[in-house]
Amino acid sequence: MTSRDKILNLFRLSPDQYISGQQISRSLDISRSAVWKQVKVLRELGFDIEAKHSRGYRLLAAPDLLLAADIENELNNQLIGRSVISLPETDSTNIQVRRLAEDGAHEGTILVADRQSAGRGRLGRRWESPSGVNLYCSILLRPEIPVQQAPQLTFLSAVAVAETLSDVCQIPAEVKWPNDILVGGAKIAGLLNEMNAETEQIHFVILGIGINLNMEVDQFPKDIKYPVTSVLLESGKPVDRLLFMRELLQRLDGYYSEFLAEGFGPIRSRWEKLFFMMNKKVEVDLGRSVLCGTVVGLDAEGALRVQSDQGQVERIIAGDVSLVG
Ligand code: BTN
């Protein structure tokens, strides 16, 4: 945590109260003038901090920023969020977490950025990441599971994101195989999970999560090829990013602990409940052929199970699935 984050933490721990410069300087072991400098920076970031000669500093209002101290505050998670890093800007949170992982960062480390200059989507696409509106974060995991089970973590994050959208924003979010989150057919969030592994052993997995929270229509790229949306566009109300993120992290942490203890079963059933194509007639474009059938669920490795019109159940590992009729 930086000194700035620590000062914010002190304010959060004593809401509405004055904290003297001396108190802050003692508890952080920095000089009074260093405290004053950090208060100045916080004010520049939009924090309304009152300074009273005989009493000290008091936090009156905080802007909608995603700062590590605020995210960590009262987050009693077991693993996810044990260490949070927040940056005003980065190229891609996935790229940065990969670096941290290679340098030995521990499981549960999170990196969140207000803006990404090179946000990455799946299939080499770019992920539009303007500042001040959305959530872009990456989470480092080091699960001791067989390599072929790593895709299960994508379904875990999809469930956590969709449920947080429904609970916090009252938006009927659904999942689309393999890893999109949609509202009324328009994409509201995307997941980019990456893995570093040898044949038998996972070194680390990065869960990259991008959620369109308060994005306006004109902030989406003009050349986007599929329908997109945001919480603001769906509900007409902006969402508090900090509150949203803390709820999401709590869910992710709970589901990850459950996953380590009980395996994929509980996540699979939650995901199937959110999957709008479940038990529906679909067409799967497999590139060279098209499979017509009915979705019957997910298998343990994250493949989609489709019962063909001829009766046998096929495992779909990659393909474009669409509803029929
Ligand atoms: C998709 O194409 O659907 C995946 C989008 C994933 C975007 C997130 S934003 C945070 C993290 N950092 C990145 O560069 N990408 C992921």
Query: Could you read off the pLDDT tens digit of each residue along the chain, which spans 325 residues?
Result: 678 878 988 887 888 899 999 999 999 999 999 999 999 999 988 899 999 988 999 999 888 889 898 898 878 899 999 899 999 999 999 999 999 999 999 999 999 999 999 999 988 899 999 999 999 999 999 999 999 999 999 999 999 999 999 999 999 999 999 889 999 999 999 999 999 999 889 999 999 999 999 999 999 999 898 999 999 999 998 898 998 999 999 999 999 999 999 999 999 999 999 999 999 999 999 988 999 999 999 998 889 999 999 999 999 998 889 999 7
Residues 78, 163 within the same domain = yes
Instruction: Give the domain CATH number at 203.
Output: 3.30.930.10
If one counts every other C-beta atom within 10 angstroms of the C-beta of residue 301, the result is: 14
Same-domain status, 192 and 104: yes
Nearest ligand 1 atom to alpha carbon 125 = 2
130 and 78 part of one domain: yes
Identify whether residues 235 and 140 lie together within a single domain.
Answer: yes
Co-location of 56 and 98 in the same domain: no
Is the bond preceding 178 in cis, omega lying within 30 degrees of 0? Answer: yes
Ligand 1: nearest atom to the Cα of 122: 2
256 and 133 part of one domain: yes
Query: Which atom of ligand 1 lies at the shortest distance from residue 129's CA?
Result: 9
CATH number of the domain that residue 295 is part of: 2.30.30.100
Statement to judge: residues 208 and 289 lie in one domain: no
Q: Are 109 and 205 found together in one domain?
A: yes
Query: Using a 6 Å cutoff on CB, does residue 268 contact ligand 1?
Result: no
Supply the residue whose CA is at minimum distance from atom 10 of ligand 1.
136
- Which of 90, 117, 120, 134, when mutated, tests ligand 1's pocket best, judged by the most ligand atoms within 8 Å of its CB? 120
- Check whether residue 304 and residue 234 sit in a common domain: no
For Cα atoms 192, 194, 200, give the angle at the middle one, nearest 5 degrees.
Answer: 150
95, 125, 192, 224: residue to mutate for ligand 1 pocket, most atoms within 8 A of CB: 192
- Please tell me the distance from the alpha carbon of residue 300 to that of residue 94, in angstroms, as a whole number: 26
Ligand 1 pocket test, pick from 127, 176, 213 with the greatest ligand atom count within 8 Å of Cβ, gives: 127
Both 269 and 287 in a single domain?
Answer: no
Residue 38: domain span: 3-61
- Atom 9, ligand 1: residue with shortest CA distance: 210
* Number of independent structural domains in the chain: 3
Handedness of CA 309, 310, 313, 315 (dihedral sign): negative
CA of 104 to the centre of ligand 1 (A): 22
Cβ 125 under 6 angstroms from ligand 1: yes
Q: Which atom of ligand 1 is nearest to the CA of 210?
A: 9
Are residues 147 and 194 both part of a single domain?
yes
**Pair 84, 222 in one domain:** yes
Say which CATH number the domain at 46 has. Answer: 1.10.10.10
